[in-house]
A and B are shown apart, each in its own frame.
Chain A
Amino acid sequence: MTTAPRTTPTETDVAVLHLLLQLIAGTYRSPADALRDDLVSGALAEACAALAEALDLDAPGLLAPDWTTLQASYIDLFVSSGNGIAAPPYVGYAIDGELMGPSAQLLGAAFSDHGIELQDAWSDLPDHVAAVAEGGTLLAHGARPEAALALLEGYLAPWFERYATAIEAKDVSGFYGPMTKFLQAAIKEVTREARS
C-alpha cells in the first residue's frame, strides 16, 4: 500500500521529479530529430548523469546507437513486431489489460481537472507513456509536484513494473533497454525518497 508524500517537496525534489518525467517523455516518444539531436549533442547523457547523481544511481551506459536501428527497435518494442511487441506503450493497459479502460479514463479525468488536455496533433492514445510523462512535467512545473508524484507512482511505475524486463530483453538498439532499466530505478528511488 502506498501513501501520499508526507512533506512538502523541496525545490530540488521538484527539479529531480521534473527531469525524470522529461526523460521518460523523451525516451518513449516516437524517435524523431529532437531525440537524435540530444543523443548526438550529449545532452541526453548529461541529463541522465545529473539524475543519477541526484539519486545515487549509476547512469545508464548508453551505446552510441545507430539511428536506423534505434528507430526500428522502437517499432519492434512498442508499435508492431512479428514476434509480438515487448510493451504496449499505454499506462492504462498495463494496469487494466484494456485499452481506454478505467485507469485511462481516471487518468484523463485527472489531467482534465488539472487543466491539461491533449493537443489536436497528438494522434495516439491519451495514456501513451510519453504523453502521460509529458503531462507530468507540466504538473511538476505548475506547482503541483505532489500530483506529479502520484502520477509517477500510480500510473507510470506500474507500466515499468509490467514491461521493463521485456523491454530490456528484447531491445537491440542499446538505448531502450538501458534507459528503461535506469528510469525504473529512478522512479523507485524518487518514490522511496518521497515516502521516507
Chain B
Amino acid sequence: MKLGRRDFIKLSCATVGALAVGSTAKAQLFPGGFPNPFRPPPGKWFEGDVTTSYSYCEMCFWKCGMKVSVEGGKVRKVDGYLENPKSRGMLCPRGQAAPATTYDPDRLKKPLIRVEGSERGAGQYREASWDEAFDYIAEKMFAIRDEHGTESVAFMGHGTGDEWFASYLPGAWGTPNAAKPSVSLCTAPRETASVYTFGRGIAGHEQIDWDETDYIVLIGHHIGEDTHNTQLQQFAQALTRGAKLVVVDPRFSVAAAKAKDWLPIKPATDTALLLAWINVLIEEEIYDAEYVEKYTLGFEQLAEHAAQYTPEWAEAITEIPADTIRRIAREMAAHAPRAVLPVGRHVVWYGHDDSHRMRALYFVNILLGNYGMPGGYYLCDAPIVDTFPAPELPLAPAAGGCGGGPVEVGDSPFRPSVDRGKFFGTATSVQEFIEPMITGEPYPVKGLFAYGVNIFHSIPMVERTKEALRHLDLYVAIDILPMEHVMWADVILPECTFLERHDDLNLVAHKTPFIQARFPAVEPMYDSKPAWWIARELGIKLGLGEYFPWENIEEYLDRRLSSIGSSLEAMAEQGTIVRRGRPYIADWERLNRNPFDTPSGQLEFYSERFAEAGLDPLPVFIDPMEGPSGYYRLLYGRSPVHTFARTHNNAVLMEMDSENSVWLNTREAERLGVSHREYVYLENQDGVVEGPVRANVTERIRQDCVYITHGYGHKAPLMKLANGRGASDTHLQTRYDLDPYSGGAGLRNNWVRIVPGAPDPQHKSIAQLVRERSQA
C-alpha cells in the first residue's frame, strides 16, 4: 500500500468523525484482536430458497398490506407492496421490526394456570395443556352463568383477533359487556359526533383527501409522531406539492416543525378556538353558502349560537391572538373547499368537552364545504363480503368496532351492559366495567377476558383496576407477551404472532375500498395458537359449537371469499382486492343516492336528538377541570417507533427509542433547578409517583403543561427489554371525566409536579440486554 502526500487528507469531521460512537478506552490494549464470526464462513442465507406470502401488518392497527419473505423456515424480511392502498409499497419501522416480535424469546410459550392458592399478580403458574386450560375456563364460566347470568362475564379486546373475543364469542355466549379500548379510551367522541353530524362514522381509516388538499389545519393531530404509514406518506406528499400547514398544539410537535403557523394553544381550550373560527366564517360570510344551503340543517341556529364566540372571547381563553384567529379563518376560506381540518384519532381528552370539540371541528369543515368534496373529507364504505353461514348469535353485535357504532340489546332476554344509561351513546365503555367488578352495581361482573388489551396501560386508575381483578372469579388473558396484567390472570393463553397465523379478512373503508388477507408465513412457535382457533375451541367447550360450524380457518375464509367470486387460493396470489370507491357527493348524486344517514338526510348542525336527550344540541365550550397550583397538566402522545404499550419488548424498536422523557419548558426547568436529561420523578395530584424519567428541557412546550410519550414504564420483569424504562402516563391517570355524549374517558385531567433528584437508573443498553437474553 502507498499513501503519499495526501496521507492527511482532512474530511469534514462531522462527516466521519465519531458521531455515532464514542470510545471510552483511551489507552487500553486489547489482546486477541476483533472476533470474526465467519471462520469458516456460514452459508449465505440470502442465496437460499425464499418463499413469499401475503399478510397485513399488526404492529399497529393501520394494517398495512405486507409481503413476508421466508428462507430456511425463518422470516427474513417484510415489505409493503404497491398494489395495497394501505402500504403503497412501504412499511414504517414498526412494521419492519415485526419479525423481532415473532422471535422475541420472552414470548408466552404455553398455556398457564395460576397455582391454586397463590395471589393474583404474584406470578405463580403451572403449565397446562390447551384442553386443560379450556376445561378450567369453561367450568368457571358455567359457575358464573349459573349464579349471576351470562352477562356477568365481560370481554375486552384489541387487535384483529378481537372480532372473536370482543364480538363473536361474547355474542355467542350472551353478554353485552364486551368492549374495545379503541373506542371509549380513544375514538368514541369523534365517532358519536360524526354519526350525529354526518350520519356516517369515521372508523379505522380517517377519510382525509390528502392528495387533493391545499390547506391543512392540524388541531389535536400528531401526525409524524402518531405514525400511520400511508397517512404520513400522503401528508408529506401534500406538503411537497405546496399545501400550506397550520398546527395548533401546546407543543412544537414534529408536524409543527413543518408548519407555516404554529399556534401554541393553552391546553384544554381547543373548542373555544374552533367556535371562534365558526364565528368568523359566518360573521364575515366567508363560508361556502351554496354548500351549506344545499346539504345542511340548522344553520340559522348555529349562526345565532356562534355569534357569542368572537375571536376576542377566544383569545382570552386560548391565548391565541384574535387577529391570528381571524387570519387563519380567512386563509381557510380562501382555499375552501380544498382546506381541511383532519380529525385526530385519540380524542378522549377532557371528557365533558370532547364531543363538543369534535362537532365543532366537523362544523368548520362543513362551513368550508369540504365534506364529500375533493380536498376535504371523502366518503367511503367497507367492501361487503358475506359472513360464514351460521346460526344467528343470541346477542350481536356485542362490541362496536373502532367506529363504536350503536350497540343495542333491544328485545333480547339479556340485561343491558353495565354502563347503559351513563351517557348518550350506545357503544360500551371499557373503563366502566371496573366499578361493577368491585361494587356489584348495577350487577356483578365476575369474569373477564382480556384479549390483546394491556389493561394496566390503557384503563385509567390502575390501582382500582387491580382491586377489581381481585374480586373476579375468573380472569383470562390472551396475549403474546407476559405483560404485567397478563401475570394477574387465572389462565394465560399464548397467542401466536400475526406472522404465524391466518386471520379474518380485513375489509377496509377507504377511498378505494379494499379487502386484504393474512396468511401464515411460518408455523406458530412454541405452543401458541391463533385467536380464531382459541375462540372456536373454547366455544365448543362452552357448548356453543353450532356457532363455529367451520372445521378450520381455510374453510371459513374460502367460503366468505366465494361470496365475492374469489377464493382463498386466489387471495394467496394477490393479497389484496381493490374496489372502486364513491368518494365524493357527486358520485352518489349520479346514482340518486344520499350519503348522509342522519334523521334529516342532511348534515346536521343542530341535533334534535341531543336536544331531546337534554343535551346541548350545538357545541359549547366548557371550562376544563383544573389542577393544583405548582402542577402541570399532563399531556401525552406517541413515539413514532412504538404502538401503545405493545412494542416495548421489541429489540429493534427499543434500540431506536428505549425510554421516554418528560418535556418541560426551559423557564420552568430553570425555576425548578432541573437540567436537561437529568432524571426526575413525576408525582400526580393524588400522590402517585412514576419514574425515574429523563427531563427533556425544551422551548418546544408551553409553561403550563408537560408531555410524555405513552406506553413506557412497564412493570413486567418477564419482559426483559421493556421492564422499568421510563414513566407510564396511564399510571398517572387517576382521574377521568366521562363524556356524556360518547362515554369516552377524558384522560387529560391529570396534573403532575416535577420531583428533581431521582437517581440515574443505570439502564443497561438494549443491545447488552439482548446479548444477555440470548446467552441465557
Chain A: residues with CB nearer than 8 A to chain B?
Answer: 1-2, 4, 10, 12-13, 15-16, 19, 22-23, 25-26, 29, 32-35, 37-38, 41, 43-44, 46-47, 49-51, 53-55, 80-84, 88, 94-100, 102-106, 108-119, 121-126, 128, 130-131, 134-135, 137-139, 142-144, 146-151, 153-154, 158, 162, 190, 193
Q: Which of B249-257, B510-518, B595-603, B763-771 makes up part of the contact surface? A: B763-771
Contact A81 B89 (CB under 8 A): yes
Residue positions of B touching A, CB distance < 8 A:
1-4, 6-7, 9-16, 18-26, 28-30, 33-42, 45-46, 71-72, 74, 76-77, 79-80, 82, 88-91, 96-97, 99-100, 103, 651-652, 655-657, 765, 767-768, 770-771, 774
Whether B774 lies near A102 (C-beta < 8 A) is: yes
CB neighbours (8 Å) of A121 from chain B are 19
**B655 and A126 contacting across the interface, CB-CB below 8 Å:** yes
Query: Which of chain B's residues has its CB closest to A99's CB?
Result: B652
- Which A residues lie within 8 Å of B20 (CB)? 25, 29, 118-119, 122, 124, 128, 130-131, 134-135
Q: How many whole Å from A135's CB to the nearest CB in chain B?
A: 5
Complex: A182 Cα to B37 Cα, angstroms: 25
Q: Which residues of A contact B36 (CB under 8 A)?
A: 2, 150, 153-154
Contacts of B46 in A (CB 8 A): 94, 97, 162
Distance, CA A128 to CA B100, complexed state (A): 17
Docked complex Cα distance between A124 and B655 (Å): 7
Residue numbers in B under 8 Å from A100 (CB-CB): 100, 651-652, 655, 767, 770
> Which of B33, B37, B651 contacts A4, CB < 8 Å?
B33
Cβ–Cβ contact A143 & B29, under 8 A: yes
Q: Cα distance A137–B38 when bound, in Å?
A: 21
List 22 A-B pairs, Cβ < 8 Å. Answer: A23-B11, A29-B20, A35-B15, A37-B12, A41-B12, A46-B9, A84-B79, A97-B74, A100-B655, A105-B767, A108-B767, A114-B23, A115-B26, A116-B23, A116-B24, A116-B25, A117-B24, A119-B18, A123-B656, A144-B33, A147-B34, A150-B33
Chain B residues within 8 Å of A82, by CB: 80, 82, 88-90
Return chain B residues, CB-CB under 8 Å to A94: 46
Question: Which A residues lie within 8 Å of B90 (CB)?
Answer: 80-82
When the two chains form their complex, are residues B30 and A114 in contact, meaning their CB atoms are under 8 A apart? yes
The interface residues of chain A lying within 8 Å CB-to-CB of B4 are 50, 53-54
Is A106's CB under 8 angstroms from B82's CB?
Answer: no
Give A127's nearest chain B residue, CB to CB: B767
Minimum CB distance partner of A163 in chain B: B46
CB distance from A53 to the nearest CB of B (A): 7
CB distance from B675 to the nearest CB of A (A): 15
**Bound complex: CA of A104 vs CA of B766, how far in Å?**
12
CB distance A43 to B11 under 8 Å?
Answer: yes
Q: Which residues of A contact B33 (CB under 8 A)?
A: 4, 144, 146-147, 150
Given contacts A47-B9, A122-B20, contact A146 B2 (CB under 8 A): no
Give A26 to B80 CA distance when docked, in angstroms: 29
Partner of B71 from the list A37, A97, A135 (CB cut-off 8 Å) is: A97
Q: How far is the CB of A148 from chain B (nearest CB, A)?
A: 7
Contact across chains for B768 and A112 when beta carbons are under 8 A apart: yes
Q: Are B15 and A26 neighbours in the complex by a CB distance under 8 Å? A: yes
A133 nearest in chain B by CB position: B16
B7 to chain A: closest residue by CB: A15
Give complex CA distance A87, B58 in Å. 24
Q: Which listed residue (B41, B97, B655, B771) contacts A1, Cβ 8 A?
A: B41
Q: Which of B9, B21, B77, B99 interacts with A122 by CB under 8 Å?
A: B21
Most chain A Cβ neighbours within 10 Å, of B45, B97, B657:
B45
Inter-chain CA distance A81–B669, complex, in Å, is: 41
B19, B91, B656: which has the most chain A beta carbons within 10 Å? Answer: B19
Return chain A residues, CB-CB under 8 Å to B655: 100, 125-126
Most buried by B among A12, A100, A150, A193: A100
Assess A138 versus B21: contact at CB under 8 Å? Given A38-B12, A150-B33, A158-B38: yes
- Residues of chain B within 8 A of A135, CB atoms compared: 20-21
Chain A: CB-nearest residue to B87: A82
Per a CB cutoff under 8 Å, which of A105, A116, A193 touches B21?
Answer: A116
A134 to B11, CA, bound (A): 13
Does the CB pair A97–B76 fall under 8 Å? yes
Top 8 A-B residue pairs of the complex, sorted by shortest distance between their CB atoms? A115-B25, A82-B89, A34-B14, A147-B34, A50-B6, A150-B34, A154-B36, A131-B20
B3, B37, B765: the one within 8 Å of A50 (CB): B3
Task: List chain B residues, Cβ under 8 A from A80.
Answer: 90-91
**Are A19's CB and B3's CB within 8 A?**
yes
Q: Is the CB of B21 within 8 A of A22?
A: no
Besides A50-B3, A99-B96, 19 more A-B contacts (Cβ < 8 Å) are A2-B39, A12-B3, A15-B3, A15-B7, A26-B11, A35-B12, A43-B11, A50-B9, A54-B2, A97-B74, A98-B76, A99-B652, A100-B655, A102-B774, A114-B23, A114-B28, A126-B767, A128-B20, A144-B30
Shortest beta-carbon distance, A182 to chain B, in Å?
Answer: 15
Which residues of chain A are within 8 angstroms of B15 by Cβ–Cβ distance? 22, 25-26, 29, 34-35, 37-38, 44
In the bound assembly, the distance between CA atoms of A148 and B102 in angstroms comes to: 34
B12 neighbours in A (Cβ, 8 Å): 34-35, 37-38, 41, 43
Q: Is the CB of A98 within 8 A of B14?
A: no
- Cross-chain contact B3 with A54 (CB below 8 angstroms): yes
Are A22 and B16 CB-contacts (below 8 A) given A1-B41, A193-B1? yes
Chain B residues positioned under 8 Å from A37 (CB to CB): 12, 14-15
**B-side contacts of A111, CB under 8 Å:** 21
B656 touches A154 (CB 8 A): no
How far apart are A80's CB and chain B's nearest CB, in angstroms?
5
Tell me how far the C-beta of B514 lies from the nearest C-beta in chain A, rounded to whole angstroms. 17
CB–CB A46/B6 < 8 A = yes
CB of A151 to closest CB in B, whole Å: 5
A97 touches B77 (CB 8 A): yes
What is the bound-complex CA distance between A104 and B72, given in angstroms? 19
